[in-house]
Amino acid sequence: MAKRLGMSPSKISRIETGNSGLQIEDVAALLGLYQVPASTRDELLDLVRRSEERGWWTRQPGLPQLWRTLIDFEAKATRVQNYEALVVPGLLQTAGVRAGDHPGR
């Protein structure tokens, strides 16, 4: 696929796994290659266009109220805080303090 579209295999992988932002041209090319029907292709391309809009996910029909509430909390959050009572998070670990090590041993 990558060769047929003139893209690198890693770019295709990032797009398909969601590890990369979507560009309308790339998605259109992939949908054409996958022979997605025109009506579905138009719908998906419209979603890609609207994905840049803030709050697009709250306008999706059938979204459970519990999800809407969670999305609202995340949208209003001013910071993310993580508390680990028994574990030092990986990024804070040093050679002398690894997960499972105990000081003084």
Give the pLDDT confidence of 59-104 residue by residue, as tens digits. 777 888 888 888 888 888 888 887 777 777 777 777 765 555 555 5
- Is residue 41, in this structure, part of any structural domain at all? yes
For residue 90, tell me if it sits in a domain. Answer: no
Question: For residue 96, is it within any domain?
Answer: no
What range defines the domain where residue 62 resides? 2-76
DSSP-derived 3-state class of residue 97 = strand
Provide the Cα torsion 48, 53, 57, 59; round to 10°.
-110
Which pTM does this prediction carry? Answer: 0.52
Residue 97, pLDDT score: 54
When the pLDDT of each residue in the chain is averaged and rounded to a whole number, the result is 81
Taking 80 as the threshold, does the pLDDT of residue 10 lie above it? Answer: yes
**Closest CA relative to residue 42, chosen from 30, 51, 31, 53:** 31
50, 56 contact by CB (below 8 A): yes
Note the pLDDT of residue 42: 93
Domains of the chain: total: 1
